[in-house]
Amino acid sequence: MSFGGGGTDISPYPEEKGGAVLNATINKYARVFLTPRRDNRLRIKTLDYRLETVTTIENCALDGELGLVKAAVKQMDPPAGMNLLLASDVPPGSGLGASSAVTVAVLAALARWLKKKRTPEELAEEAFFVERKRALLKGGRQDQYAAVFGGLNWLEFGKDRTVVTPLPISPLVLEELQSRLLLCYTGLTRRSDLIIERQLEAHAGNKKEIVRVLDELKEIAGLMKKALLTGRLQELGDLMDRGWTVKKKLSTEITNPRVEELYAEAKKRGALGGRILGAGGGGYFLFFCERDKLAAVAEKIEESGGKAENFRFVFQGVQTAVRN
């Protein structure tokens, strides 16, 4: 989940001005189970959405259902076929980086099987390449790096490299932060790449204004980082509220009446601020609440048709294991 700076990791902004995102990983996972085959067949199946495709490694088209997974397989150029079973705790289009987490998991599983060593940076960049160059999906870099590294990080995106800096938050501040955040599923999913494509079109058509908005989002992210490092959590809520107001200037598709209604109701009950996660338009909302108002906000969200969900921060990135 991104607290601030989202959008500044999307080209051409990071190459021109340098992007920065405050990002954290939580205990919602994408899992990939790889079973080698003795032929060249590729069978991909999901537990969550009852999707299945069967093809061959040679004829693996990078389109249609599960195209992103097939693109990751092609990237690793396996010498034989396999069965891939996928399971995700959140749906695609949720704003929690599910697609990137799946891509990273598939690449990590294949690298483990094929004994191809990858540094964390190489794995994140390979996942980025698969999504942006092979599958041709619009987007940034933060989700791939979050899935690979894990933790609460300050991510800086430049022309030639990405720097991942874990934030040394005290356990007491981290626990209070956890206790004041509410994750809410709006019930709406969306094509994040299409929203980002509109943002890129706006960038090209009105570059000066879009860059100004991205500059402000980066500034807000930096202030959020300082608030966390100094334990001034009350400021974080106000900054999230400001960030949400600014983010909506990037595209008219970031919000809609349903999203605005949820946000207004949450603020009435004690949310100091919040932001929709990912590109916008639906998916998950993250609210920062007054210390004693989280339960009231969650109750109102449920009454309004949303779903409040428990979560915990996690500090491990992608993991692989071999099972006999």
The catalytic residue among 39, 63, 77, 143 is 143
Q: Minimal CA–CA distance to 217: which of 247, 253, 240, 192?
A: 247
Tokens at 225, concatenated:
């980082």
Q: Minimal CA–CA distance to 271: which of 249, 286, 283?
A: 286
Residue 83 CA to residue 73 CA, distance in Å, equals: 11
Identify whether 9 is a catalytic site residue: no
Residue 11 CA to residue 167 CA, distance in Å, equals: 25
Extract the runs of DSSP E, i.e. beta strands, from the chain: 2-4, 19-24, 30-36, 41-46, 52-56, 82-88, 152-157, 162-166, 181-185, 271-276, 284-289, 307-309
Q: Are the C-beta atoms of 271 and 229 separated by less than 8 Å?
A: no
* DSSP code per residue over 225-273: HHHHHHT-HHHHHHHHHHHHHHHTTS-TTS--HHHHHHHHHHHHHTEEE
Edge to edge, what strands does the sheet with 41-46 contain?
30-36, 82-88, 41-46, 52-56
**Which residues are tagged catalytic?**
143
